Structure 1
């Protein structure tokens, strides 16, 4: 799995570099390039807790194994502030799965839902909000 993640990052880097050199956007909503993003948002609030180390080391790798070849890669964001440095962070963490097929994702999650939800207690007391999005375009800052 680690090899696949490194390979995916390498491919996305190459695509990014070629896009930057041509000053073009990458349109990934074409049939062969469809990519979907599953966002898992853990809202902050009074009494909310989140163990980032467990999430990174155990939970996300476990779920990524369930997703198999459908998973291109995943990301984890750790919230550090709100709009300005002195405001409370709205989300303690956000996890992202980048997948090729929504139906395959839903089947994989459905087969393991009890294990996935049962693992929440090991890292958080937050009920996450899930959003599935279609990625339609990736842009790069050509100024740098």
Structure 2
């Protein structure tokens, strides 16, 4: 199993509409990617590691797939539509990481 994490860096002036992300964008992604998407979760940053420190990321979306190939096959045909929705909830550039789930 793999996890695709889409992370949105935090800054003093970042725009991020968490309600839109959770109620519109992530359901759109789930609909487009269908059964290839096994699970999804959204994290909304609260704080950094030190007291009073801001979170490094304003939000993160995590999606689980059987393999990198499964993700790429499902995402590829819909990439433009999914990426075109980003300005509706953020002005941050997403950072994407694909990880192998070990535990």
The normalised TM-score by structure 1 is 0.68
Q: Structure 1: which 4+ aligned runs deviate by more than 6 Å?
A: none
Residue 43 of structure 1 corresponds to which residue in structure 2? 9
2:96 to 130, 135, 139: 130
Q: What secondary structure, in the 3-state scheme, does the structure 2 residue paired with 1:112 have?
A: helix
Residue 65 of structure 2 corresponds to which residue in structure 1? 99
The normalised TM-score by structure 2 is 0.94
Determine if the alignment matches structure 1 residue 65 to structure 2 residue 62.
no
Gaps of 5+ in 1: 1-34, 138-144
The structure showing larger relative contact order (alpha-carbon pairs under 8 Å, at least 6 residues apart) is: 2
Q: What secondary structure, in the 3-state scheme, does the structure 1 residue paired with 2:43 have?
A: strand
Separation in structure 2 between the aligned mates of residue 128 and residue 85 of structure 1, nearest angstrom: 26
Gaps of 5+ in 2: none
Separation in structure 2 between the aligned mates of residue 85 and residue 125 of structure 1, nearest angstrom: 27
When you count helix as a share of all residues, which structure comes out higher?
1
Contact 1:74 1:95 in 2 (8 A): yes
Separation in structure 2 between the aligned mates of residue 85 and residue 79 of structure 1, nearest angstrom: 14
Separation in structure 1 between the aligned mates of residue 38 and residue 74 of structure 2, nearest angstrom: 15
Separation in structure 2 between the aligned mates of residue 120 and residue 61 of structure 1, nearest angstrom: 13
Question: What is the alpha-carbon root mean square deviation over aligned residues?
Answer: 1.1
Residue 89 of structure 1 corresponds to which residue in structure 2? 55
